Amino acid sequence: MKPRQDGVLRARPYSNHTLKSCAAGSTLLAAAFFASTILFAAADSAHPEEIDTLFQEGLRLLRENRPEEARQPLEEAAAREPTSAAIHCNLGLAYANSRDLEQAVNEFVLALRFDEHMPEAMINLAGCYQSLGKRAQALEWYQKYLTENPADEEVADTIRAIKAGAMEARGNPADEDYYGSLASNQRCRWPTEKVPLKVFLDRNSRIKEFRESFPAVLLRAFEEWSTATDGRLRFTETLDPANADIICRWVDSSTVTGIPSTAPERGVSRLDASGGVIFRAKLKVLVAPVLGGGTITDDEVYKSCLHEVGHVLGLNGHSPNNRDVMFFTIDSPTVMPQLSGRDKATIRRLYDVNVVDIK
């Protein structure tokens, strides 16, 4: 993954946290973690190391997808250094990723009070408003972010999708899962006797954008969903598509998927099912940037794979929360290349796995 000109790596933790009295250093966009210089007030200037220790602990827990635990050290750091935009922004992420969206909004607003041009706070504030169903406020902050970062095509695409009504929230984005957002008359799942499901991966695709790393990326997506079900769903690779339960292909043009280039999806899936039982499925993953130019990263392909695999496992529908991988579009900068707690809880509920301590 190549860094942008400002040193930002998308959807990957990056830390440049020092104790110097200078402007913010390298940063990360939404759904990653903001780690930069903290400007310590005179009241705590004698003990900046203690605040930095709290900050780094919170950052470590966020990286490990443990947002509930990250709240305590970041709350303490914010209490001791209440004017740090960096601390408030990371605390906002901790609240957002533990489903306290209203409190997350408060923290991002505080971050912007102390640094009105902080892109991470803008984009996350927009994402929280979107998850809360506050469309006007979400558009306002996405637009403010885009005004200062006009080259960000992902956010521009998100704005277009919201305006087109493609991302209207259905269901409560703060619920433990989004099972209720799935099409009730189309809920289906794989029968136990089919497991392990046989998966065919196109390892010899001739499309220009194909890379040898892609099949392993797709297999990892199947494995992550399998882990989420405690092994209720398992997969094995087959080299014969005629013998496969799930056939996976790569495409280099959105026209091949049958989806307009401005649509929020980055792949397409089809289920053959009857009476709520799936007996065969196909998926295609787009591995070329829809808007053209540049190359797609493995992390971006992984998000697409996670999303499409979710569909072929029976998640017929989308989450209304833009921090879930099954959100309407994986192009949202708030979607991480990993399953959220709500993604895991929903697939477990679909397959009758007890939902306990999902992180």
* Complete DSSP assignment for 24-74: --S---TTS---------GGGTT-HHHHHHHHHHHHHHHHTT-HHHHHHHH
**Ranges 20-24, 114-118, 149-153, 223-227: which has the least confidence:** 20-24
Residue 288 has pLDDT above 90, yes or no: no
Mean predicted confidence (pLDDT) in 4-17 = 27
Distance of alpha carbon 319 from alpha carbon 176, whole angstroms: 11
**What own/partner pairs with CB < 8 Å and gap ≥ 24 does 172-176 have?**
172/320, 173/101, 173/131, 173/132, 173/133, 173/319, 173/320, 173/321, 173/322, 174/99, 174/101, 174/131, 174/132, 174/321, 175/342, 176/99, 176/342, 176/345, 176/355
Q: Say if CB 123 and CB 27 are below 8 A apart.
A: no
- Rounded to 10 degrees, the C-alpha dihedral 242/248/251/257 comes to 90
Q: Say if CB 195 and CB 231 are below 8 A apart.
A: no
Query: Which class in CATH covers the domain with range 42-151?
Result: mainly alpha
**10 vs 205, more confident:** 205
- Supply the pLDDT for residue 166: 53
Query: What is the token pair recorded at 273?
Result: 């099912």
What are the tens digits of pLDDT across the range 14-66?
Answer: 232 322 222 222 223 334 444 444 444 434 454 788 999 999 999 998 877 68
- Residue ranges of the domains in the chain? 42-151, 179-350
Residue 279 has pLDDT above 60, yes or no: yes
What is the Cα Rg of the chain in Å? 21
Residue 158 has pLDDT above 90, yes or no: no
Residue 1 has pLDDT above 60, yes or no: no
- Supply the pLDDT for residue 331: 62
What are the tens digits of pLDDT across the range 252-268?
Answer: 865 444 443 334 457 88
Residue 208 has pLDDT above 50, yes or no: yes
- Supply the pLDDT for residue 156: 83
- Rounded to 10 degrees, the C-alpha dihedral 158/161/162/167 comes to -100
What are the percentages of helix, strand and coil residues in the chain, rounded to 5? 45, 10, 45
What are the tens digits of pLDDT across the range 303-318?
Answer: 999 999 999 999 988 8
Percent of the chain with pLDDT over 90: 44
Percent of the chain with pLDDT over 70: 74
Q: How confident is the model at residue 113 (pLDDT cuts 50, 70, 90)?
A: very high
Residue 79 has pLDDT above 70, yes or no: yes
**267 vs 79, more confident:** 79
- Supply the pLDDT for residue 320: 82
**Ranges 82-86, 89-93, 354-358: which has the least confidence:** 354-358
User: Residue 193: which residues within 8 A CB-CB, separation 6 or more?
Assistant: none
Query: Which class in CATH covers the domain with range 179-350?
Result: alpha beta
Instruction: Compute CA distances 265 → 61, 252, 327, whole Å.
Output: 31, 14, 10
What are the tens digits of pLDDT across the range 318-359?
Answer: 888 878 899 877 766 667 788 999 999 999 999 987 644 333
Query: What is the token pair recorded at 300?
Result: 């971006």
